[in-house]
């Protein structure tokens, strides 16, 4: 976490990073700095961590601070100590330097246990290479390498351990001070590359629309439609949904894709059910798909139903409202009851399923929430 007291004019407020766009807007609103562009404000105090106190009493880019905080928030094991020791060793003092450093920690091994030459050699190589075979920890080559490291005199004793700079590992400048490098901070449904005029940004959907606005601004794109989008990765299991998402991105734009991604980004979202309901509702665009997703519990899908008899039996067996003692079933006309469900609940056979809406909210109300309803068309 990074905690700053930011100042604009005579107003000050505290902002903790990483933060959402909404939280950043709220902080800017408290000091009447909502319209500041670029987003550089005066850091009156670095409350945490003290290792970044050199950022105090200077103007800082809040988006850079936020990106750095996300990187630092994801440090694992001794990476935080390596980061701070490297910061001092290299005398870095700008946010672009710190962001680049966070991507180059393999250049800075830190050995905390120096009691064994084998551990020293292995820990050093593990830090530089990222991984080593799990079954060769006792290989004498590590002890030999550990002795070589100690004899080199290149290690520096610090409060966190023996610190090295691996000169054979190049320092890669992944952030140019303009466009952020790819970094997935939290689970993402759609990971997109956005390109314009030789520049590249990355989008992590769903996100706040303002995050997309900022990415396009960093690209220098005058309008969203001139930005070329391509897919880096996704967490969508269904290939037909992947293709539908790509169609939406191409035909309706990334903001509509983001709207749909936000609606379906839930661990308990049944994408197969949503596909069936979308066919049933003849949903045409991302907005309608998003509204169906938000109201998915309004719909019941009876899989593999072939006729109204199947429908009637399913509803009797699975709905408390229509529960029936088993001894009465032989006298009951399930097909006629299935026809009743189809008529009263606007049920339809679609794609090998029967789908109906047994709620007080009509399909039209769902499809056209906050939008004008069509004068003619479906009456549901």
Read off the pLDDT of residues 307-317 as tens digits, 9 standing for 90 and up: 999 999 999 99
Q: Looking at the structure, tell me whether residues 59 and 109 fall in a common domain.
A: no
Is 11 a member of any domain?
Answer: yes
Is 272 a member of any domain?
Answer: no
Distance, CA of 328 to CA of 312 (rounded, Å) = 14
Question: Which residues does residue 348 pair with via DSSP β-bridges, in sequence order?
Answer: 355
Number of domains making up the chain: 4
pLDDT at 35: 87
Is 168 a member of any domain?
Answer: no
Distance, CA of 281 to CA of 366 (rounded, Å) = 10
Is 175 a member of any domain?
Answer: no
Q: Looking at the structure, tell me whether residues 60 and 89 fall in a common domain.
A: no
Are 221 and 253 in contact by the 8 Å Cβ rule? The answer is no
Are 101 and 86 in contact by the 8 Å Cβ rule? The answer is yes
Among 41, 73, 105, the domain boundary falls at 73
Q: Looking at the structure, tell me whether residues 86 and 20 fall in a common domain.
A: no
Among 146, 163, 180, the domain boundary falls at 163
Distance, CA of 342 to CA of 311 (rounded, Å) = 9
pLDDT at 379: 42
Is 40 a member of any domain?
Answer: yes
Angstrom distances, CA of residue 125 to CA of 85, 129, 165, 214 = 18, 6, 12, 39
pLDDT at 377: 45
pLDDT at 370: 66
Distance, CA of 196 to CA of 107 (rounded, Å) = 32
**Neighbouring C-beta atoms of residue 151, cutoff 10 Å:** 8
The torsion region of residue 13 among left (phi > 0), alpha (psi -120 to 50) and beta comes to beta
- Identify the three-state secondary structure at position 244: helix
CA atoms within 13 A on the CB side of 152: 16
Q: Looking at the structure, tell me whether residues 218 and 244 fall in a common domain.
A: yes
Q: Looking at the structure, tell me whether residues 224 and 260 fall in a common domain.
A: yes
Q: Looking at the structure, tell me whether residues 148 and 205 fall in a common domain.
A: no
**What's the angle, vertex CA 112, arms to CA 108 and CA 118, rounded to 5?**
90
pTM to 2 decimal places = 0.88
Nearest to 31 by CA among 16, 9, 46, 47: 9
Q: Looking at the structure, tell me whether residues 61 and 88 fall in a common domain.
A: no
pLDDT at 135: 84
Is 269 a member of any domain?
Answer: no
Cα 77 versus chain centre, distance: 23
CA atoms within 13 A on the CB side of 80: 13
Distance, CA of 229 to CA of 222 (rounded, Å) = 15
pLDDT at 311: 96
Among 73, 93, 113, the domain boundary falls at 73
Tokens 């068309």 found at: 377
Residue 28 domain boundaries: 2-73
Q: Looking at the structure, tell me whether residues 69 and 24 fall in a common domain.
A: yes
Q: For the chain, where are the E strands, in sequence order?
A: 2-8, 11-17, 40-48, 58-61, 110-111, 156-158, 161-163, 190-196, 199-205, 228-234, 299-303, 348-350, 353-357
DSSP state of 322: G
- Identify the three-state secondary structure at position 169: coil
- Neighbour order of strands in the sheet with 199-205: 199-205, 190-196, 228-234
Is 120 a member of any domain?
Answer: yes
Q: Looking at the structure, tell me whether residues 240 and 303 fall in a common domain.
A: no
Distance, CA of 150 to CA of 312 (rounded, Å) = 80
Is 360 a member of any domain?
Answer: yes
Q: Which two tokens stand for residue 235?
A: 């967490």
Mean pLDDT, each 10-residue run in order, the chain (380 residues):
97 98 97 90 97 97 98 95 96 96 97 91 92 87 93 93 95 97 95 97 97 97 96 93 95 96 93 96 94 95 95 93 86 94 94 93 87 48
β-strands 161-163, 156-158 pairing: antiparallel
Tokens 């690209």 found at: 219
């Amino acid at each position: 976490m990074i905690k700053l007291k930011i100042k604009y004019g005579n107003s000050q407020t505290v902002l903790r990073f990483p933060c959402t766009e909404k939280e950043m807007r709220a902080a800017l609103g408290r000091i009447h700095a909502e319209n500041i562009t670029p987003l550089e404000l005066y850091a009156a105090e670095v409350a945490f961590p003290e290792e970044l106190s050199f950022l105090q009493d200077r103007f800082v880019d809040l988006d850079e601070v936020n990106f750095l905080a996300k990187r630092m928030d994801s440090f694992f094991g001794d990476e935080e100590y390596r980061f701070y020791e490297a910061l001092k060793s290299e005398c870095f003092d700008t946010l672009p330097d710190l962001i680049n450093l966070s991507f180059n920690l393999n250049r800075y091994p830190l050995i905390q246990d120096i009691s064994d030459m084998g551990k020293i050699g292995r820990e050093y190589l593990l830090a530089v290479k990222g991984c080593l075979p799990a079954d060769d920890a006792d290989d004498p080559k590590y002890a030999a390498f550990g002795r070589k490291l100690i004899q080199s005199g290149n290690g520096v004793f610090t409060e966190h351990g023996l610190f090295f700079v691996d000169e054979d590992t190049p320092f890669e400048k992944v952030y140019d001070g303009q466009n952020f490098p790819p970094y997935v901070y939290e689970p993402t449904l759609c990971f997109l590359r956005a390109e314009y005029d030789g520049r590249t940004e990355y989008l992590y959907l769903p996100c706040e629309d303002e995050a997309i606005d900022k990415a396009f601004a960093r690209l220098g794109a005058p309008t969203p439609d001139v930005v070329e989008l391509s897919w880096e990765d996704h967490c969508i299991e269904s290939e037909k949904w992947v293709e539908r998402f790509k169609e939406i991105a191409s035909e309706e734009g990334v903001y509509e894709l983001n709207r749909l991604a936000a609606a379906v980004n839930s661990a308990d979202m049944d994408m197969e059910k949503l596909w069936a309901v979308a066919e049933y509702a003849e949903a045409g665009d991302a907005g309608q798909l998003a509204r169906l997703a938000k109201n998915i519990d309004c719909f019941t899908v009876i899989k593999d139903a072939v006729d109204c008899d199947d429908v009637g039996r399913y509803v009797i067996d699975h709905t408390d409202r229509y529960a029936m003692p088993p001894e009465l079933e032989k006298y009951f006309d399930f097909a006629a009851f299935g026809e009743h469900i189809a008529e009263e609940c606007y049920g339809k056979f679609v794609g090998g399923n029967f789908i109906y809406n047994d709620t007080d909210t009509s399909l039209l109300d769902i499809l056209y929430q906050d939008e004008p309803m069509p004068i003619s068309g479906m009456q549901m």
